Chains A and B, each alone.
Chain A
């Protein structure tokens, strides 16, 4: 479904991604784990068109989306829930969700998807007219995810959805990610909480300083000594 080949991305002269290649098949949950600063967010931003690569290719469903504008990529079916949620704090929950459907014209479909989002996140329905900036961190994460789903993506990019949330909420969010996946959305999940990410993922890639250093089935990686040492808290 998505194929990334030899991607090189720079910030000025900082070489943030150094020849990253990976592949995601339809229906999977693939997770990207790695320390802070490894380049995970940079990779997601490059896939969604916020950053332009200096070199390399990104192919989505057989078509090149390399260096395309973000709006084109959303239209093709990739939505990105950015790190730190980035909800529109000055707008209501409802307006945030409407903006998620910005490029869609099918009024009926939009309405149905709103209902779908309310089913997934009943909290949002209770807070429709509330300013997004007044929501709790967990609710903002739900809103950011709901907003991304409103674009009806086939591939969902999630950047650290568990960041700063209480353990119970993290569990809820991860259960919902699985639910979203089961209903037909492919997921690329970036997480620092590697344990949790590996527990729901089919496959995983490990990123270190801009390179993929390890990849494989989630179970394989969970039991790999190297991953245990570096990301799963020792033994």
Chain B
């Protein structure tokens, strides 16, 4: 039963990676930029959630929504200020800018509130133990998993059924042709940043609720791992990010269960190297060479 317990842990962790990976993949799909500041948006979301709960005395769901809204605005702000002026610049210029933005957010956070840890209260969600077919799981894990899955379903709905979702897919396939349909490409790109960042904000609150401790550099490792998850699923492909995230979470948990706790953080990067060697287009990626 230990293995099933680990599987449950892995899925919970993986759903956090998946939520973050979605933002990477959506932004990459539409502007071909690896937004390395995305992990820091996750961190900011986690802090917004923390302050909403501790200062504003909000409960879990209102805090989650506030954090998602704040991160959506923050994501759009980053896009408009830092990335939009570079839309026609070289990729390396945009990438370096993204790393700069990441450092700015991390150090800005440290400047304004210090580098010390903060801890989410442990009574935000009920922590009953539930017995499911002989396996004990915390009700909190189930709720968190449920929230993540619900967000992913909503995202699928938005992307496939709504007008803005169709515009997003059209722009990511061919921005010029999208313009000919009357689509406002700038607004569509902003909407993509908003949605991706709001999911990172949700992931931040879920992370805090689940693992308690948060700090200004907390976005670095999950950000990198979510990036690996996005590449694993096939960068630019939304279901790929979901599957890649879950898979990475499960692999990590199984490795630590097998006695390799020390290896846990390394696993993601071994996975990255293996995909880049054997399956550079990722699980869902079409086997085509990228235009340079």
Contacts and interface: CB of A to CB of B under 8 A. Distances in A.
Nearest to A103: B182
Interface in A101-143: 102-103
Chain B interface secondary structure, helix, strand, loop or mixed? helix
A48 B177 CA distance: 11
Contact of A90 (B163, B167, B173, B184): B173
A71 interface: yes
Interface stretch (A27-35, A79-87, A210-218): A79-87
A203 interface: no
B288 to A, nearest CB: 12
Contact of B180 (A50, A90, A91, A98): A50
A146 interface: no
B166 A98 contact: yes
Contacts of B176: 50, 82, 86
A86 B177 contact: yes
Given A88-B173, A90-B173, A151 B182 contact: yes
B182 A71 contact: yes
B184 A99 contact: no
A169 B182 CA distance: 29
Interface string A59-99: 00000000001110011000110100011111100010011
A70 B177 contact: no
Nearest to B167: A102
Given A95-B166, A98-B166, A79 B173 contact: no
A53 interface: no
A154 interface: no
Interface residues of A, number: 26
A231 to B, nearest CB: 28
B179 A151 contact: no
Contacts of B177: 82, 86-88
A50 B181 CA distance: 12
Nearest to B237: A90
A100 interface: yes
Nearest to B172: A90
A71 B183 contact: yes
A102 B174 contact: no
A86 to B, nearest CB: 4
Contacts of B174: 86, 88
A49 interface: yes
B169 A79 contact: no
Interface in B54-107: none
B59 to A, nearest CB: 39
Nearest to A74: B182
B170 A79 contact: no
7 contacts: A50-B179, A70-B179, A71-B184, A82-B176, A88-B178, A91-B166, A102-B167
In the A-B complex, the 7 residue pairs with the closest CB atoms: A74-B182, A103-B182, A70-B179, A86-B177, A71-B182, A102-B181, A99-B181
